[in-house]
Chains A and B, each alone.
Chain A
């Protein structure tokens, strides 16, 4: 056996040992925490890009608490202003000011059109929705094979690539139960938001179901903030915009 082969085998065994020495669920939890603090506020811009380059933009103010409570309100465009969304675990509501009451919506629908659906916009911790089925190593990255804990999530399976150094996602493939690709999320432009939050500031999404279209999500001003549980109730949806400082 050549020296090169021995070296390659040794490298594979060391890397494999590294993967096997990790608790996959704990690793996923670290990735969740690196992406978002336990309780925070932020601004987010969504850009739907059409095949001819034309765009439609949405700006949201969002708050999140724990691993399964998210609320957001649209600040623009004017046609969507003051619409609010709330997610509590598997439950999701949309509040339209004129309608004046929250209506249950599903994670698979899209409040903005384009490639992002409601689950992408109101994402909660990966660990809250998925179990790690397999963890492997690929070119210096962890590759998680995630399977949904229940049937109420948007995607039955996720394949998540995360950098080993930063423990942050670089790419996620969203798959059906039969492993058909629904969309791919590319995590880009790692930025220091202050307060110890260092994470990708851009998520770009494309989908074979929307050929030529892509959607981009840009994060800004992520700040830790103490938030009461009352904020994450349907009675508070019309008031989420009042939380802005």
Chain B
């Protein structure tokens, strides 16, 4: 394909992305500004007759999410995956439907939420889809201070924005989709809360048992393991303080703690620390074979959030993963990515790509990072617009991922987000070595 044809094709694809968004979202915007929502409110009416609570509650959303990806042609991962096919970019379309329902009968609450995701990539004309429950549980709460729960529930522990060292019973969030719902684990749990007036304002205990058996909680721990987790929370002297404990039937243990406090109304500080026994990491050794080692490790996060007088919010965090991969281990990985192109075994690239996806595609695979985010609502009197910029920098190899996004929340049913994410660094670095160099996303989430 000649460069001019290539450019034209790219232009057509970008235009089709935009047209698709306009076709979907503009009618929604128009529908959202019907007279009922735009009527002037001189009489200040507030009809509460429709606000009576029924036993059944339902909410749902549909999200359309076209993405344009520009590849990093210097990346060994790219060369291994695409070789001489040499694509410059790809457009990807995601559709996500989420729904949640609750039914309450006296002290019993049944709750379920989940999502359906569909994915299409034009480059290889591939489609995929999946459906999953985020949560699905039955809760018994005889009073406000005590509850028992059985089912699938998400535990979101920790105070960090980018990373949670103490997330012993949960999954790590996606930095580029930080508010996305996460799938929980099947468990039996109990919660006890007490509120006080005094220096100790609140105390809470959460204890849970999580079994791993076959497809139940698969991936959380090794098969046929039972894990117990505990969280103790205190609001003491206006400071959130948590203690966390984990133990399982394989004698592995984890302990952790976190805190968060407002030094001033505009300045918050937070921190997390966790000590984890027998963290197993798998990596390519110097001879390009897979090796694995287990060791005890400490992980921590130290962070702050500051609201400047200009109304800009800054978040700064330092993250440390004691069991992250070292520079030497990453060098062996880059050598491995380079080696199969010289190999005569046609299966070698596929096997390396599979292992690369499995062991090297996490968000924080090395040891030390800094996360910075700045957001500013309503700039230049553009009410409901919130631009934000963020970056995560790998302090060991100097590579980084940076993003810029704008959200628009004017409409009652629709949240619009435009985001551009770029990866930078040498081709033998964590973020510079990724096969994607830039990504542009347009997202529209219709809630009802």
Residues of A within 8 A of B (CB): 43, 45, 47-50, 53-57, 59, 61, 66, 75-79, 81-82, 88-91, 96-101, 104, 106-110, 113-114, 151-154, 188-189, 201-202, 210-211, 213, 216, 218, 220-221, 228-236, 239, 241-242, 244-245
With a cutoff of 8 Å between Cβ atoms, the chain A residues found around residue B383 in the complex are 48, 50, 113-114, 210, 213
A228 closest partner in B (C-beta):
B144
B contacts, CB < 8 Å to A:
33, 37-41, 44-46, 48, 51, 53, 57, 59, 61, 100, 104, 109, 141, 143-145, 154, 156-158, 178-182, 191, 193-197, 201-202, 204, 206, 233, 235, 238, 240, 260, 262, 264-266, 268, 270, 305, 307, 311, 313, 377-378, 381, 383-384, 409-415, 445, 447-448
The residue in B109, B262, B448 that gathers the most chain A C-beta atoms within 10 A of its C-beta is B262
B412 x A79 contact (CB < 8 A)? yes
- CB nearest neighbor in A for B177: A98
Query: In the complex, which residues of chain A have a beta carbon less than 8 angstroms from the beta carbon of B377?
Result: 109-110, 113
Instruction: Report whether B37 and A57 are in contact in the complex, using a CB–CB cutoff of 8 Å.
Output: yes
**The residue from B181, B233, B262 contacting A91, defined by CB atoms under 8 A apart:** B262
User: Is A153 a contact partner of B59 (Cβ separation < 8 A)?
Assistant: no
Residue of B46, B51, B100, B233 with most chain A CB atoms under a 10 A cut-off: B46
Whole-angstrom CA separation of A211 from B201 in the bound complex: 40
Contact of A218 among B46, B100, B202, B305 (CB under 8 A): B46
Residues from chain B with Cβ under 8 Å of A153 in the complex: 265
Partner of A228, one of B158, B195, B206: B195
13 A-B pairs whose Cβ atoms sit less than 8 Å apart in the complex: A43-B51, A55-B37, A97-B181, A98-B179, A99-B179, A104-B260, A108-B307, A110-B377, A210-B381, A233-B202, A235-B191, A235-B202, A236-B144
Q: In this complex, what residue of A is CB-closest to B45?
A: A218
Decide if B48 touches A220 in the complex (CB within 8 Å).
Answer: yes
Bound: A188/B260 CA distance, A? 39
In the complex, chain B residues whose CB is within 8 Å of the CB of A104: 240, 260, 262, 268, 270, 305
Q: Whole-angstrom distance from the CB of B190 to the nearest CB of chain A?
A: 12
A56 touches B51 (CB 8 A): no
What residues on A are CB-neighbors of B414 within 8 Å? 79
Of all chain B residues, the one with the shortest Cβ separation from A109 is B307
Question: B264 to nearest A CB, angstroms?
Answer: 6
B145 touches A230 (CB 8 A): yes
Contact between chains at A228 and B260 (CB < 8 Å)? no
A96 to B377, CA, bound (A): 18
Are B144 and A231 within 8 A (Cβ)?
yes
Q: Are A55 and B313 in contact (CB under 8 A)?
A: no
Provide the bound-state CA to CA distance between A114 and B383, in Å: 7
Contact yes or no, A230 B194, CB < 8 A: yes
CA distance A218 to B48 in the complex (A): 11
- CB-defined contacts of A56 to chain B, threshold 8 Å: 37, 384, 410-412
A49 to chain B: closest residue by CB = B41
Q: Contacts A189-B44, A228-B145, A234-B202 given; indicate if A89 touches B447 (C-beta within 8 A).
A: no
| Complex partner residue of A53 from B40, B44, B311, CB under 8 angstroms | B40
Set of chain A residues within 8 Å of B260, measured between Cβ atoms: 104
